Chain A
Amino acid sequence: MTPAFTTSTLRIMPREMRMMTERVFSLTRLPKGFVLTATDIVMYSQKLGLGGFALLETRFDELKEADPARIELLSEQGSRLDLGAGGEHAWFVVPTLVDLLGELAAHYGSGSVRVTNAADPDELRVAAALAARNGLSVVFSGGDEPLLTASSKTLSGDLKRDEPLLWDLLQNGTAIEAELWWRVYHLAQKALTPDSVVSRRHAGPLIVNDDGTVIGRKDNDDETDLSFLTSIGTGKTRKESAGS
């Protein structure tokens, strides 16, 4: 699964993919406690050749209104469940889906869940790969109402065997078209706070007050440029100059 890189694609590693996904999701109405556990989903989608970051960009306006609490159980017969996604995107159904498959496997040894009314239902394939982390072997059957069937497997403690997709990602990253990646990067940057003179006082070993007085570090072994600390817009300048 080692990707072929070209001049127009970049090798992106999990750390950056997770960070960008977390930031983009944090721009939606999704609760923070949910976002922090959903950061692998787009990365897995990308690695599996599904929608990945291109889909994240395409669907962003719809994702902003996401509310995973709309997902509900429609019916339950022993180890078989029907899950109503309520129109939520498949990515946000995945965590609940993996949980339910895990619960069924814990109680019955195996189980299945059918998902109805999920946006981009083919993206539920991500659940099959992600469930390996929970000690589940999952089979995906496609269509508009995909069926996922899980059975328990024993985790070895060896990431390479337990979660081969994550291992491959950690080894090789994944190839992403450069222009797409930088567009996602800029979208994710919106989750960060613009620089201001005030915000610059919230970090660093010294504070420059409005009247020019300095609080904090007294020694000056690096000759800090105080005018730089009290100016704004310089970060923007660097980002532009550091760009392509």
Chain B
Amino acid sequence: MNRMLRERWDISVQRFEVDATGEGTVIYSIRTLRQEFSFIAFSRPPSRKARTGRIIGQAWDMMGTLNEGPATEGDIASAREELPKLYRGRATPNALVWCRANRSMRIFDQTLAALASGKQPDIDGLAEVCYLMRNTGLDGNGTFGTRSFPSLGTDHDLGGPLQAQLLTAYLMREYSCDLVEHLARHQSEKAVPLDPAIRRYLGVGNGSALGLIFFVHRHPKLIGSWIEARERAIALARGLELDGGDVRVDMLLQLVRRAATFRRQDRMVYETFASSAEVADDLEKVAVALVELRETGMVGGTRTRYPLDTLANWFAEELRPEASETFLSLLIELVPDEADALAARVAGTDEVNVSPAQTCQDLAQEIRQQYRWALETDMSSPEAYRYVWYKSESAEEPRRGARDEVPDALDLGLDVCGGLQALVADLEEQEPLLPVSRFLMKHPEHRYLTARVQTLADLVYHTPTANINAEDFTPIHLVRLMNAGIHGIDKTRDFLRRNLRGVLYHGAPGPDDIRAGREGVWAYPAEPRP
């Protein structure tokens, strides 16, 4: 979003041919400084049958494709034919992402009725959901024949990790707002458009689950690079030498208060995570400490050279993790240029390679040093392998279930703990100076973990320290790592310890704001009360 604003991307509707039932075609043009993209979406009337936010669903209210270049009639015809086939469909060579979305039926219909009657929708109702439509799939990087993301390169305007998917999500949000206004106009001559403040408040919904854990495990270099960039930005901010009266302290205070208000107004009910009321309480303690810093230059009555570092350590001990991490995230706003530069360098290829000349002795030593947590995990307990990770043949939906309930399932999960324990045990049986190449010849079952350990040796944050097969593993901790930490999703409402629903681009600028380059803080939006 920062880049879109800085470069003033031009996003415009080229075609909006949707009838009163909701059937039709919509085309958006996205012009960057150097390139043009198009978003082709097909709207369908909602169907009650086979409707679910899960991948196995068979009814969607929108399917679309983000393409390179302006939309041609050939692109549109091909997308119309191929998108509904999903895994049997073929994208055009210029396609980057295929997507699907469903309406939030209650809120979409309420908003439509209000606009058609010439009124704005009820804010209390909107605030319970915060989106009109919810993403149920963003597929690219070669899926269905779409372009491979690593081939885009750094000169491409969507060449960075996840940029094509995130732009598509943003366009889904714009589409949802444009659609509800369009249908309202179909219903009544009295219809009014959404108030711009309400439009900005509405993000796009997102439902995520177990598939993201496969993603985390399959892209360790990318995940490691991303988290390292975040931690470096936070470290830079913690190292700022600030005194009372520094404008940056005041800025941070305003951000914390904004986040506290956001949490106070949050109506989601969290099952595993801290309630927003508790987080708001903690953030108000943060605000009190920042007022002291602003007024006196001191933290807890003591003058310190690096007050933000002192505060961060204090909050990590005293506050709930959600509040402490919110504070850390807001610190990044104090080093915006450095943070953008760090984000631009995030990268990581998928391939892992064996270093064949390393000795068994050295490899074992490296594992003992870096994966102590995995070697110390009790894998002999009956709970250690209670669950299995697999995919259903219906739409490849990722699932996690008790192993005895699906005895024939092929386990697709990564067993870091058990695998490394077995690897080290076998390495210790070898002649210490035996090269890894010779070891793997006799133990081909250890090839992947060997390559993975060797390839990731210089990274810090690549692998979740968890036995994902165990009874006590909570899948949504990793789902939220991806959703909140990397995708930037708010209000990550959790279900059954494995699913998250959340809001993306909550409060984000609209196309007019982007075209005008209107910068400013948009995260943690307050409810748009008149």
Residues of B within 8 A of A220 (CB): 106
Q: In the complex the two chains form, is B440's CB within 8 Å of A99's CB?
A: yes
The 7 closest A-B pairs by CB, nearest first: A235-B394, A15-B142, A13-B142, A202-B401, A31-B445, A106-B357, A99-B437
Which of B88, B435, B440, B444 meets A239, CB within 8 Å?
Answer: B88
Within the complex, which residue of B52, B406, B448, B501 is in contact with A199, where a contact is CB–CB below 8 Å? B406
Contacting residues, chain A, for B446 (C-beta < 8 A):
33
A68 interface contact, C-beta 8 A: yes
Given contacts A103-B357, A204-B209, contact A72 B441 (CB under 8 A): yes
Q: How far is the CA of A195 from the CA of B145 in the complex (A)?
A: 26
Bound together, the chains give a CA A170 to CA B87 distance in angstroms of 19
Binding site for A on B (CB under 8 A): 46, 48-54, 56-59, 84-90, 93, 102-107, 128-129, 134, 141-148, 150-151, 207, 209-210, 269, 349, 351-357, 390-401, 405-406, 408-411, 419, 435-438, 440-449, 451, 495-496, 498-499, 501
Indicate if the CB atoms of B441 and A73 lie closer than 8 Å: yes
Q: A103-B435, A173-B142, A193-B391 are in contact. List 5 more A-B contacts (CB 8 A).
A: A193-B406, A194-B392, A194-B393, A225-B52, A236-B394
What separation, in Å, do the CA atoms of A193 and B390 have in the docked complex?
Answer: 7
Residue of B nearest to A221 (CB): B104
Using CB atoms, name the residue of chain A closest to B414: A36
> Do residues A69 and B443 form an inter-chain contact, with CB atoms below 8 A?
yes
Please determine whether A13 and B146 come into contact, CB atoms closer than 8 angstroms: yes
Which of chain A's residues has its CB closest to B146's CB?
A13
Nearest CB in chain A: distance from B387 CB, A: 9
Q: List 18 contacting pairs A-B, 8 Å CB cutoff, sorted by A.
A: A15-B142, A15-B143, A33-B419, A69-B444, A102-B355, A171-B151, A193-B391, A193-B410, A199-B401, A199-B409, A200-B56, A203-B210, A205-B53, A206-B496, A219-B128, A221-B134, A239-B394, A242-B85
Residues of chain A within 8 A (CB-CB) of B438 are 73, 103
Known: A33-B419, A222-B53. A242 touches B444 (CB 8 A): no
Contacts from A to B (Cβ < 8 Å): 10-16, 26, 30-37, 40, 68-69, 71-73, 95-96, 98-100, 102-103, 106-107, 133-134, 159, 167, 169-171, 173, 182, 185, 189, 191-196, 198-207, 215-225, 228-229, 234-236, 238-239, 242-244
Q: List the A side residues contacting B106 at CB < 8 Å.
A: 220-221
Q: How far is the CB of B419 from chain A (nearest CB, A)?
A: 7
B145, A173: Cβ atoms under 8 Å?
yes
B349 touches A192 (CB 8 A): no
Which of B58, B150, B356, B495 is in CB contact (< 8 Å) with A99? B356
Whether B444 contacts A31 by the Cβ 8 Å rule is: yes
Q: Give, as a whole number of angstroms, the nearest-CB distance from A87 to chain B.
A: 16
Checking B207, B351, B399, B410 against A205 with a beta-carbon cut-off of 8 angstroms, the contacting residue is: B207
Q: Would A193 and B392 count as touching, CB distance under 8 A?
A: yes
Complex: chain B residue closest to A101, CB-CB: B356
Q: Which residues of A contact B56 (CB under 8 A)?
A: 195, 200, 234-235
Q: How far is the CA of A73 from the CA of B435 in the complex (A)?
A: 14
Chain B residues with Cβ under 8 A from A68's Cβ?
444
Contacts of B93 in A (CB 8 A): 11
Q: Are A215 and B496 in contact (CB under 8 A)?
A: yes
B48 near A225 with CB under 8 A, answer yes
With A12-B145, A99-B437, A100-B437 known as contacts, the answer to whether A203 contacts B448 (CB < 8 A) is no
Complex interface: chain A residues within 8 A of B406 (CB): 193, 196, 198-199, 202
From A36, A194, A201, A207, contact of B448 by CB (8 A): A36
